[in-house]
Amino acid sequence: MHLEVGCTLRRDKCFTMGATVAGFMALMALVGPFVVPFDPQDMSFQPFARPSWAHPLGVNDGGQDILSELVHAVRNSLGFGALVGGLGLMLGVGVGLTAAWLGGLVGRLLMSCADVFMAIPSVMILILVAALFQPSAAVLAMVLVGLSWPTTAKAVRAQALALRSGLHVRAAAQMGASAWYVISRHLVPEMFPLYLIGFVAKARMAVFMEASLAFLGLFDPGRKSLGGMIQYALKYYYMDTWWNWLAPAVFCLSASIVAAGLLAISLEKVLDPRLRSLWG
Using CB under 8 A as the criterion, which residues of the chain lie in contact with another protein when the complex forms? 112, 115-117, 119-121, 123-125, 127-133, 151, 155, 194, 197, 201-202, 204-205, 208-209, 211-212, 215-218, 227, 230, 233-234, 237-238, 242, 246, 250, 253-254, 257-262, 264-265, 268, 272, 275, 277-278
Residues 6+ apart with CB under 8 A from 188: 93, 97
Residue number with CB closer to another protein (158 or 173): 158
User: Would you call 59 helix, strand, or coil by DSSP?
Assistant: strand
Q: Which is nearer to another protein, 182 or 265 (CB)?
A: 265
* Smallest distance from another protein to CB 94, Å: 19
Q: To the nearest whole angstrom, how small is the minimum distance from the Cβ of residue 90 to another protein?
A: 17
* Nearest distance from C-beta of residue 201 to another protein, angstroms: 4
CB closer to another protein, 18 vs 40: 18
Closest approach of another protein to the CB of residue 125, in Å: 7
Of residues 4 and 176, the one with the C-beta less far from another protein = 4
Contacts of 227 (CB under 8 A, 6+ apart): 77, 210, 211, 212, 213, 214, 215, 216, 253
B/e letters for 199-237, b = 16+ CB within 10 Å, e = fewer, are: bbbbbbbbbbbbbebbbbebbeeeebbbbbbbbbbeebe
CB 234 within 8 A of CB 246: yes
| Other Cβ atoms within 10 Å of 239 Cβ, number | 13
Distance CA 153, CA 137 (A): 24
The least CB distance from residue 97 to another protein, in Å, is: 18
Q: How far is the CB of 54 from another protein (least distance, A)?
A: 26
Shortest separation between residue 140's beta carbon and another protein, angstroms: 14
Q: What is the DSSP string of 206-224?
A: HHHHHHHHHHTT-S-TTS-
Residue 225: C-alpha distances to residues 40, 52, 128 (Å): 11, 23, 20
Question: CA angle, 42 as apex, 36 and 44 as ends, to 5°?
Answer: 115
CA 10 to chain centre: 22
